[in-house]
A = this chain, B = another copy of it.
Amino acid sequence: MNSQLRQQGGADGTVGKALEVLDQVADKGRPVRFSELLAETSHPKATLYRLLQTLTNQGMLAYDEDRQTYAPGLRLVRLAHSAWRQSSLAPVARPYLTALAQEVGETIHLAQLDRGQVLYVDKMNAAEPIEMFSQAGKVGPGYCTGVGKAMMAFLDAGDRQDAINRQAYFAHTPNTLTTPDALAAELDRIKAEGVSYDREEHEPGIICIAAPILSSTGRVIGALSITTSTSRQSFDGLEQHRAALLRTAQDIAGAAESWQFPT
């Protein structure tokens, strides 16, 4: 998981390095020891040590004294709350998602693009109650999800290429697109058609139809998908929801654009 090309442009200064370490801890997905981080980083011992100290005493990391491990800290949760509320997409889209979920009776995902990856910012299920952070904040691959492809398709040339380059192209299923060229061709098709599909490209048995949410200037704000499983619905069944999906995407775009924070 390391050694390959740096995700985002080289760390800017000390802050960049600190955040890189923060990501490293977060990506582990479980509490980590100092030595474990040291083994994976290019920083010398003392440097890593001090970065961890700084982050810890800033509350960005939490140090468990008993187990001697680092984990992402509570301050992040507080900050994310603020980020979510202020985002001009998720809170605004809420009521539309609820309505769409009830109308089509399937699971709805709302996502945004973050460095070529899909970040789910909300989820609505007609039946079960939703799960909190356990769903929102989750990241997924861009190249093999409906929402990912929908968003990439409508990026402008430079950003699109950038996003294409960032993908991992792991063959999750036999249907996964595994080359930049195949993906680029698919994106062209999607842009022409206006919606994208996940044809069991990420998980066997899971299919979806997705549409981008575009600002009035054509900028990609996010994407919306209706997900189901092959056992519940056929592809044609999903196709039936196309109009509702596109309408909702437009409604959300409109609402997000005209929305202003109370002064």
Interface residues in A15-44 by Cβ distance below 8 A to B read 15-16, 18-19, 22-23, 26-27, 29-31
Interface residues on A, range: 35 or more
Q: How far is the CA of A184 from the CA of B156 in the complex (A)?
A: 59
**Contact call A54/B13, Cβ cutoff below 8 A:** yes
Q: How far is the CA of A14 from the CA of B51 in the complex (A)?
A: 11
- A11 CB, min distance to chain B CBs, angstroms: 9
Interface-facing stretch out of A115-123, A146-154, A187-195, A203-211: A115-123
Interface-facing stretch out of A69-77, A171-179, A225-233: A69-77
Q: How far is the CA of A232 from the CA of B218 in the complex (A)?
A: 50
Q: How far is the CA of A175 from the CA of B73 in the complex (A)?
A: 33
Judge if A4 is at the interface, Cβ distance under 8 Å: no
* 18 A-B pairs (CB sep. < 8 Å): A13-B54, A15-B58, A22-B79, A23-B79, A29-B82, A31-B261, A72-B86, A74-B87, A74-B121, A76-B79, A76-B80, A77-B80, A77-B136, A78-B137, A80-B83, A82-B137, A133-B133, A133-B136
Q: How far is the CA of A132 from the CA of B86 in the complex (A)?
A: 14
Partner of A78, one of B16, B64, B90, B114: B114
Q: How far is the CA of A80 from the CA of B55 in the complex (A)?
A: 15
Judge if A12 is at the interface, Cβ distance under 8 Å: yes
Closest B residue to A82 by beta carbon equals B26
**Contact call A114/B59, Cβ cutoff below 8 A:** yes
Q: How far is the CA of A112 from the CA of B78 in the complex (A)?
A: 11
**Contact call A58/B16, Cβ cutoff below 8 A:** yes
Q: How far is the CA of A129 from the CA of B51 in the complex (A)?
A: 40
Q: How far is the CA of A58 from the CA of B71 in the complex (A)?
A: 20
Judge if A169 is at the interface, Cβ distance under 8 Å: no
**Contact call B133/A132, Cβ cutoff below 8 A:** yes
**Contact call B90/A133, Cβ cutoff below 8 A:** yes
Closest B residue to A69 by beta carbon equals B261
Judge if A99 is at the interface, Cβ distance under 8 Å: no
**Chain A, 143-173, contact with B by CB distance < 8 Å: what is the 0/1 string?**
0000000000000000000000000000000
**Contact call A71/B54, Cβ cutoff below 8 A:** no
Partner of A136, one of B15, B81, B139, B261: B81
